[in-house]
Amino acid sequence: MAKRTSTPPPEDDLGKVVDIDVEEEMRSAFLEYSYSVIYSRALPDARDGLKPVQRRILYGMSELGLRPDRPHVKSSRVVGEVMGKYHPHGDQAIYDALVRLAQPWTMRLPLVDGHGNFGSLDDGPAASRYTEARMAPAALLMVTSLDEDTVDFVPNYDDSMTQPGVLPAAFPNLLVNGTSGIAVGMATNMAPHNLVEVIGAARHLLDHPDCSLDDLMKFVPGPDLPGGGRIIGLDGVRDAYLTGRGKFVTRATARVEKITPRRMGIVVTELPYLIGPEKVIERVKVLVQSKKLQGISDVKDLTDRKNGLRLVFEVKNGFNPDAVLEQLYKHTPMEDSFGINNVALVDGQPQTLGLKDLLRTYVQFRTDVVRRRTEYRLGKRKDRLHLVEGLLVAILDIDEVIQLIRASDDAATAKGRLISVFDLSDAQAEYILELQLRRLTKFSRIELEAERDELQRLIEELEAILGDEKLLRRTVSGELADVAKAHGTPRRTVLLESAGTPATQTTPLEVADDPCWVLLSSTGLLARTSDAEPVPADGPRAKHDAVVGAVKTTARGEFALVTSRGRMIRMSALELPALPPLGGAPSLSGGAPLAVYVDLPRGEEPLTIVPLDAEGPGVALGTAQGVVKRVTTDHPARSDWEAISLRDGDSVVGAAALRDGAEDLVFVTSDAQLLRFPASAVRPQGRAAGGMAGIRLSPRASAVFFGAVDPAAENVVVTSSGSSDALPGTQPGSLKVAPYAEYPAKGRGTGGVRAHRFLRGEDALVLAWVGALPARASGAGGVALELPEPTGRRDGSGTAYPAVVAGIGAPVR
């Protein structure tokens, strides 16, 4: 670094005013300042990838003995040591550099093992007096063999001691951990990379010095950021690897999932490099308040140490989650750009380097380090071999050696006589004189000869490395491979050539009010289809395919739930989960439980769902006491209301929406009586009415089924018998399936006809259903069941059925 020197004025000129050129003085002063910032502060060395303050921190910790197997010490002690001996600048600047070396979200391979509050992406660290630090295992790789003359040492700021001008760096730290810094007139910004990939490229360059950039990019396809995420578009990455300058886009890792049974959400598990969750949340709140971002109802930061980052955005009903995610990418820091500017010092000069230049600089440096280390070790072993050979000469006649030393007047005389008598060198004679008598006990000729042979073998190996450039490179490559094996980790960042077509280009932000079907299964699951096509009547059986209620509406439409207490509860289709396009029998396994949307009192059961059409023949209701009612379509604008006034002890057993009023209304009783009569026989009534007589019941009998069927369709009657004394679902009983057309129509208020003959031990119907083919049955938990083939009405009782039927439904038409 160039230094400006000033000559003091002569003594006779003291007190005089000296005119200087201000422009020249400013130019020289600013130039000196620029050199200082570039060389001593902001830019890293391309060899070890460290700025001076980082290098001095690691060297200071190494000198303090803060190895990974030693206890942590106060960070302020490290800062004081570095500031007092090597880095004469502010303690806060040194501590900030120390903190950065310990942050796993900043460094791909941290060099400092921090203990305490070292901050986060959103908050700063605690003061140095509260935190503790020691060297991380990777830091040992930076200072290894530092005492073997591998690098040059330079004086410190006051020339009182020396410090390394560069660290040996057993791995390409500049590429692995990246860096950033702002100097005068220039800046550097380098992205972190994966250790295994960088070392693979470096080894390839060692074996093939003339390889191309494409060859190296097979090993290093792109940066590997500490926080993971995704890199979108690799053209900027290639430009950076080619010229040293480029730009790429980083994206958060997010997925759309169901966060509650009735709400979809966007879960973010990885954010762009150096972007914290608080920054994203703050930006989202501002955008939501300004109406620039729609569809977000809530945001929660569920990040913890066990599960890592977890940022949850709750999406409002009616908004497409994929489109909302694209809006988040567009308007928030969940998508960020990273500008690569590979500026580093090469031979003390700032240069912009591509990938191959960076690797070549490191490989040349590391090769020189290994060469100097080998030379140092060779010299040490030769010196030791020289001493061992002298000791072997002396130990053959140790008594004469001792007698010769005792007979000498002083050490100089003894050394001279040893040299002349035994033909020893000065160093050998000095070593023998410095030996303590107690050390002679462990020396033996055999041990010394074994040590001599081992030293000769090591010397041959070291000389072979120095004499063969290929062997030297192979040694460097092998050491790099060992580092990658010991410290390598899998890639965290996903590389994508492009982001694909944004969802907002193909899908609107809000869910369109398209026609759809709302389905209710026998196990109480609700869902809506993604189109208005009728649900296929055929196709493979599927779980939860016993549809007991179906309403044709729109995605933003409303429908009503009918309960056993005669209430109708208004519900919105928009809140329901959307099923994928149906390719066969519907599967409501992806639906949401009804209890998520409606909290029914104990004893009140859901029956079915019906439309809330302003026009139409209305809804037919049937009760356990045989009452039938046809409700008008004049529904109130309330969330729930009574559709029928029930008598004491009565309850609704079934409800059905009428299409044109030409349907048959059907009752099935517990004593196996079936009554069918036209819906036109029941006049519409208001909400306060209690209905009219539907079926005449025998003593102790009750209606177990009520519904409406199309008399022109192919319908069946399914009845299941059992014992009224048994607990529900404890015995299968018998099951009968008969054609509906074989049951004659009777007048409203009559007793109907016989539908099922009981076997021994049976006295009641436990389940009945009348509807169109193909009938779909489900057992406990929604397991699909196959019903037996229909038999004649007069065939008597049903056949034994091994499974307990939980519900039966018909295809949606």
**C-alpha dihedral sign at 472, 473, 477, 483:** positive
Please state whether 76 falls in left (phi above 0), alpha (psi between -120 and 50) or beta: alpha
Domain range list for the chain: 50-168, 253-333, 363-487, 515-809
Long-range pairs for 789-795: beta carbons < 8 A, 24 or more residues apart: 789/737, 790/716, 790/737, 790/738, 790/739, 791/736, 791/737, 791/738, 792/738, 792/739, 792/742, 793/717, 793/738, 793/739, 793/742, 793/743, 793/755, 794/742, 795/736, 795/738
Residue of 654, 658, 648, 676 lying closest to 738 (CA atoms) = 676
Q: What pLDDT sits at residue 106?
A: 95
**CATH code linked to domain 253-333:** 3.30.1360.40
- Which pLDDT value is given to residue 703? 94
Distance CA 340, CA 344 (A): 12
Give the integer Cα–Cα distance in Å for 813 and 807: 19
pLDDT band at residue 735 using 50, 70 and 90 as cut-offs: confident
Is the separation of the CB atoms in 201 and 216 below 8 Å? yes
Tell me what the mean pLDDT of segment 418-444 comes to: 82
CATH number 3.40.50.300 is the correct assignment for the domain at 363-487: no
Architecture of domain 515-809: 6 Propeller (2.120)
Interatomic CA distance for residues 758 and 720, integer angstroms:
10
Who has greater pLDDT, 394 or 379? 379
Q: What is the pLDDT of residue 264?
A: 87
What average pLDDT does the chain have? 87
Distance, CA of 622 to CA of 443 (rounded, Å): 110
Backbone torsions φ then ψ of 290, nearest 5 degrees? -90, 5
Which pLDDT does position 284 carry in this prediction? 95
pLDDT tens-place string over residues 362-381: 999 999 999 999 999 999 99
Beta strands in 287-371 (DSSP E): 296-301, 311-315, 335-341, 343-346, 349-352
Q: Would the pLDDT of 536 be above 70?
A: no
pLDDT given for residue 2 in this prediction: 42
> Mean per-residue pLDDT for 116-135?
95
Q: Tell me the percentage of the chain whose pLDDT exceeds 90.
A: 57
Asked whether residue 457 carries a pLDDT value surpassing 90, the answer given is: yes
Closest CA to 141 of 485, 470, 372: 485
List beta partners, residue 621.
629, 655
What's this model's pTM, rounded to 2 decimal places?
A: 0.77
> Does residue 318 contact residue 574 with C-beta atoms inside 8 Å?
yes
Write out the two tokens for 455.
């030293």
Name the token pair of 655: 């409800």
Evaluate if residue 582 carries a pLDDT over 70: no
What is the mean pLDDT of the segment spanning 621-640? Answer: 89
Which pLDDT score, from 0 to 100, does residue 14 have?
Answer: 62
β 627-631/684-685 pair status: parallel
Query: Quick check: 279 pLDDT over 80?
Result: yes
Burial of 132-158, coded b for 16+ CB within 10 Å and e otherwise, reads bbbbbebbebbbbbbebbbbeeeebee
Percent of the chain with pLDDT over 70: 89
Q: Which CATH superfamily is domain 50-168 in?
A: Topoisomerase II, domain 5 (3.90.199.10)
Distance CA 762, CA 726 (A): 10
Q: Residue 102's pLDDT is what? A: 97
**Which pLDDT score is estimated for 422?**
87
Vertex 412 angle, CA 411 and 418, to 5°? 85
The Cα–Cα gap between 644 and 631 comes to 8
Task: Find residue 555's DSSP bridge partners.
Answer: none
Helix (H, G, I), strand (E, B) or coil at 756: coil
175 or 798, which is more confident = 175
Question: Is 80 exceeded by the pLDDT of residue 688?
Answer: yes
Q: What is the pLDDT of residue 12?
A: 61
State both tokens at 562.
Answer: 């009918």
Q: What is the dihedral of CA 15, 18, 23, 28, to 10 degrees?
A: -70
Confidence of residue 662 (pLDDT cuts 50, 70, 90): confident
* 731 pLDDT above the threshold of 70: no
Q: What band does 4 get if pLDDT is binned at 50, 70 and 90?
A: very low
Measured CA to CA, the distance from residue 232 to residue 294 in angstroms comes to 25
Highest-confidence segment of 503-507, 574-578, 628-632: 628-632
DSSP state of 318: T
User: Does 130 qualify as catalytic in the annotation?
Assistant: yes
The DSSP code for 693 is E
Q: What is the mean pLDDT of residues 449-465?
A: 94
Catalytic residue among 130, 157, 241, 329: 130
The Cα–Cα gap between 273 and 789 comes to 64
State residue 503's pLDDT score: 44
- Higher-pLDDT residue of 783, 178: 178
Confidence of residue 476 (pLDDT cuts 50, 70, 90): very high
Residue 393 has pLDDT above 50, yes or no: yes
Most distant CA pair in the chain, distance: 145
CA-nearest of 570, 590, 592 to 580 is 590
Residues 6+ apart with CB under 8 A from 181: 41, 42, 43, 44, 51, 187, 188
Pairing of strands 230-232, 494-496: parallel
Two tokens, residue 77: 């002690």
HSE, side-chain direction, 13 A CA sphere, residue 196: 8
Structure confidence at residue 253 (pLDDT): 95
Select, from the ranges 495-499, 700-704, 724-728, 787-791, the one with the highest average predicted confidence (pLDDT): 700-704
Checking if the pLDDT of 167 tops 80, the result is yes
Instruction: Indicate the SS3 state at residue 556.
Output: coil
Closest CA to 377 of 478, 474, 455, 432: 455
Q: What's the sign of the alpha-carbon dihedral 507, 511, 515, 520?
A: positive
Matching residue, tokens 């305490």: 116
CA gap 520, 526 in Å, rounded: 5
Bigger pLDDT: 707 or 185?
Answer: 707
Q: Which residue has the tokens 């010092």?
A: 345
What's residue 3's pLDDT? 45
